[in-house]
Amino acid sequence: MGMSSISVKEASRNAYPKTLLSIVAYVGGLALFLILASTLLVSQPIGSTVRGYFYGVDGSKNIESDSSFSSTDSELSHIANAFRDGGKPNLAVLGDRGNVISQYADNSSSASAGGDSKGTLTESDPWDKKESLDSIQLSEQHIESQDKNELLDSIQPHPEVMKEEYGSKTSSSNATSQVNPPVSSNNEQPQLNKSVESSANTTNSSQDIEDSGCDLYRGKWVHDSTGPLYTNNSCPVLTQMQNCQGNGRPDKDYENWRWKPSQCDLPRFDPKKFLELMRGKTLAFIGDSVARNQMESMLCILWQFEVPKNRGNRKMQRYYFRSTSTMIVRIWSSWLVHQTPEPFDFAPAGVVKLHLDKPDEGFMEHIMGFDVIVLSSGHWFAKQSVYITNNEIVGGQLWWPDNTKQKKIDNIEAFGISVETILTALGTHPNYTGLTIVRSFSPDHYEGGAWNTGGSCTGKVKPALEGELVENGFTNIMHEKQVTGFNRAMEKKNNKSKLKLMDITEAFSYRHDGHPGPYRNPDPNKVTTRGPDGRPPPQDCLHWCMPGPVDTWNELVLETIRREFHNR
């Protein structure tokens, strides 16, 4: 009995150490698990992961709240249920946020934010009246000026800009209209150049375009009942004098003609494709008011897909598209060469002096921040100016006070020299590697006189037929000088940049119907018909209605960029 009792006690004492060791082991393992779990949660917060999944943004990056990114409980529930069930959220329910969500639902690339003279946007065209100038200034949203160094830094979509953009509020969307889908091909046979044709379905085979290097500028205008990519009511940046429908123009069919190259198809502008091609890049429109016309057309098209953030100032209009860190820029440069109002030799102060052999430094200092540049110039050479080369006055336009001195060049020759100068400067710049697109001279359609001598485009409602085409000698010679200047610059080019001529002059000579004409302002009492003496009303036959033929220029820009980036 005694021996049995002792054995039990000894057995109990021997069991204690084993039990204690087990407890210590369990506690140690639990502690290690908690430490590892805590470390993981600190480095990757659950809330951040969820927000990153649904919104494409890490919540740890301190995003400011904004109505465009603040989802209601019902929207969050809709998103969660859709993903849980293996489907996609209804983008119509989500509104503007649907654009962001859809990128993750489709497993596509994530929306990562990232990357006149000398600066004034006050434009005074010889074709624009005071009310037009006022409307331009009202339509351009300016912010306070920055110094040049700050401006140059802010142009380039570097990682610092990406971080800055995700730390700032987004622009809320007011435009919800969708871009029209491409029209299917009807397999038309190639036609002769300079022809106009009516077609219910415009050819648009992406397969043909992808493999084609055809001439985009020889073809015909075909009728497309699909209509334009936007309306005058769906674009808030449209300058009033190009808002033909808003200004009372009664006909609308001029919006329904598309350009069809003879050997291939020109696709309708695809905003998503454009923004993907331009991911992290900057496109700059540089030049006169026609450059503004084209830039606003580009913005109006893109606006239907994504509302950009206005980051511009008085020196430079800049619109930032967060989904792909794409920047659209416009810089005013009426002649593209250096100009000064100061006295020079026998030319007095006040008259603009153009140094035809020096590029405009107002935009040249920014070109290293541009990946694509679209140039527009020519029409300002009809304005009063003095021409200087090699520090010598060699000619003038609407100015020449000393008949004893011989003019060496006129405004047409001056334009040719200016083209060669600016393109040579871009083609030989040691640090510029971008793509320069030279949009050829935009034809005006003043018939029966010039802009200030009774010229008119009143009553033109469809593209001109071959027999209706009115040859414009000034347009033809300006185009010739521009092409010559382009070719000479190509011979001098020695850097890694690309130089392309977007030769729209001949094709657009048929679009006399695409100008505002007398519908250049919203005045309900404006004169729109010829008077009893046959005199036409004041009108604009130089700029282009929006929407209208000008949108084709940006389809050509997109195809030029696609070909260039594809070749690279």
Report, as residue numbers or ranges, the catalytic residues.
289, 540, 543
On whether the CB atoms of residues 392 and 304 are closer than 8 A, the answer is no
State how far the Cα of 122 lies from the Cα of 137, in Å rounded to an integer. Answer: 7
On whether the CB atoms of residues 82 and 111 are closer than 8 A, the answer is no
For 548, what's the count of Cα atoms within 13 Å in the CB-facing half-sphere?
A: 28
Place of tokens 């033909």: 244
Classify strands 337-340 and 353-359 as parallel, antiparallel or unpaired.
Answer: antiparallel
* DSSP letter, residue 283: E
On whether the CB atoms of residues 465 and 403 are closer than 8 A, the answer is no
Helices 97-105, 46-55: inter-axial angle, 10-degree rounding: 100
Of 137, 489, 483, the C-alpha closest to 332 is 137
Q: Is 103 exposed, middle or buried (0-12, 13-18, 19+ CB in 10 A)?
A: middle
State how far the Cα of 380 lies from the Cα of 289, in Å rounded to an integer. Answer: 10
SS3 content of the chain, % helix, strand, coil (to 5): 40, 15, 50
What stretches of 153-301 adopt beta strand conformation (E)? 195-198, 219-223, 257-261, 282-287
Peptide bond into 250 cis (omega under 30): no
Return the SS3 of 498. Answer: strand
State how far the Cα of 421 lies from the Cα of 375, in Å rounded to an integer. Answer: 13
Q: Is 566 exposed, middle or buried (0-12, 13-18, 19+ CB in 10 A)?
A: exposed
| Phi-psi domain of 390 (left: phi exceeds 0; alpha: psi -120 through 50; beta: other) | left
* Residues composing the chain: 568
Give CA separation, 299 vs 276, 284, 434, 553, in Å: 15, 12, 21, 13
Backbone angles phi, psi at 442, to 5 degrees: -80, 120
